[in-house]
Amino acid sequence: MGRPSVIITGAASGIGLACVQLFAERGCNVVAVDADEAGLADLTRTPRPDGVPTSDRPGEIVPLVGDVSAQETGTAMVQAAVDHFGRLDTVVLNAGIGGTLPWEDEGAIARLDRILAVNVRGVAIGIRSAAPALRATGGGAIVVTASSAGLAADPGNWAYNASKGAVVNLVRAAALDLAATNIRVNAIAPGLTETPLMARHRDVPGLVDASSRRIPLQRWGRAREQAAAIWFLASADAAYITGAVLAADGGLTAMHGAVPPPPLA
Ligand SMILES: NC(=O)c1ccc[n+]([C@@H]2O[C@H](COP(=O)([O-])OP(=O)(O)OC[C@H]3O[C@@H](n4cnc5c(N)ncnc54)[C@H](O)[C@@H]3O)[C@@H](O)[C@H]2O)c1
């Protein structure tokens, strides 16, 4: 058997980029999918702009530009894995967007439609596109990036909350439907994680400190830590896990919140 073959969406930035680096470092061949053409080009550039030497990544990386909310992208990414690597073992459906608008905003429902298209429709397209190729390999793993915001809600984040809540149950339903063909479907639910998606929030004075105080581990997560959780769910160590949502949130969703958190040590 050759190297494992993996599709990763949202591969040009944040958690997806960390996944590309981790999976490739550990010997996987990767189809890296993103709508951001320039960001994807950086992935295969030598030397890399982030200083990670290409020699540290034995797996091959094939970039694919596409919008995950379009069926053509689902079809093309699976075709790319099969054409380049001859097989498909793992799919990481990670691309997602935020940007909920206030209820009273003129564009609020159009924005909801777009968030649902990327975060929910995009995941559904990814699952249905990949299933036949995974089945042909004898089974495999799909790991979806949901969110702690899909397990509980935040003020001002209703469209994103709705989309990630839908993703959580989509993953459970897909796990039931695909179990008979030995395809496992799981999700991670990251809490606040340092990525470009969150740059806008990080720039708000005091927000990182205030939010960190509400997280039992007292800090934001790192993209690499989310990639490690995804790696685990994709790995043979998780062979008996399907339909699960693994919170990778520093304990945030373990907390009821009725009593104020203890002061920082
Ligand atoms: N950062 C956090 O705090 C956090 C917390 C919970 C969940 N998440 C989820 O993690 C995932 C990754 O987020 P991130 O923080 O790494 O964000 P990011 O913005 O750093 O990266 C997301 C990537 O997805 C790509 N993308 C967006 N829409 C796309 C589309 N329609 N088609 C293809 N590519 C598209 C972007 O170009 C970008 O490269 C998302 O699903 C997000 O909702 C993030």
Q: Judge whether 259 lies within some domain.
A: no
Total domain count for the chain? Answer: 1
Q: Model confidence over 80-100: pLDDT tens digits?
A: 999 999 999 999 999 999 999
- Give the residue, by CA position, lying nearest to ligand 1 atom 36: 10
The helix (H) or strand (E) run that includes residue 209 is helix 207-213
What pLDDT, on a 0 to 100 scale, did the predictor assign at position 241?
98
Q: Closest by alpha carbon to 219, among 264, 175, 170?
A: 264
pTM > 0.85: yes
In which band, very low, low, confident or very high, does the pLDDT at 258 lie, cut at 50, 70 and 90? confident
Q: Judge whether 207 lies within some domain.
A: no
Q: Model confidence over 91-132: pLDDT tens digits?
A: 999 999 999 999 999 999 999 999 999 999 999 999 999 999
- Give the residue, by CA position, lying nearest to ligand 1 atom 32: 67
Q: Judge whether 40 lies within some domain.
A: yes
Burial of 146 (0-12, 13-18, 19+ CB in 10 A): buried
Q: Judge whether 151 lies within some domain.
A: yes
* Ligand 1 pocket test, candidate residues 34, 148, 197, most atoms within 8 A of CB: 197
* Ligand 1 pocket test, candidate residues 7, 8, 9, 13, most atoms within 8 A of CB: 13
Which residues have C-beta atoms less than 6 Å from ligand 1? 9-10, 12-16, 34-36, 39, 67-69, 94-97, 118, 122, 145, 147, 190, 192-193, 195-198
Structural domain including 111 reads 5-192+222-251
Q: Judge whether 142 lies within some domain.
A: yes
Q: Judge whether 202 lies within some domain.
A: no
Cα separation of 93 and 133, whole Å?
A: 15
The alpha carbon of 10 and the centre of ligand 1 are apart by a number of angstroms equal to 6
* Ligand 1 pocket test, candidate residues 8, 15, 42, most atoms within 8 A of CB: 15
What pLDDT, on a 0 to 100 scale, did the predictor assign at position 32?
98
The alpha carbon of 11 and the centre of ligand 1 are apart by a number of angstroms equal to 9
Stretch 181-198: mean pLDDT: 96
Q: Judge whether 203 lies within some domain.
A: no
The verdict on whether 240 is a catalytic residue reads no
Q: Closest by alpha carbon to 245, among 134, 125, 109, 147?
A: 147
* CATH number of the domain bearing residue 31: 3.40.50.720
CB 29 within 8 A of CB 6: yes
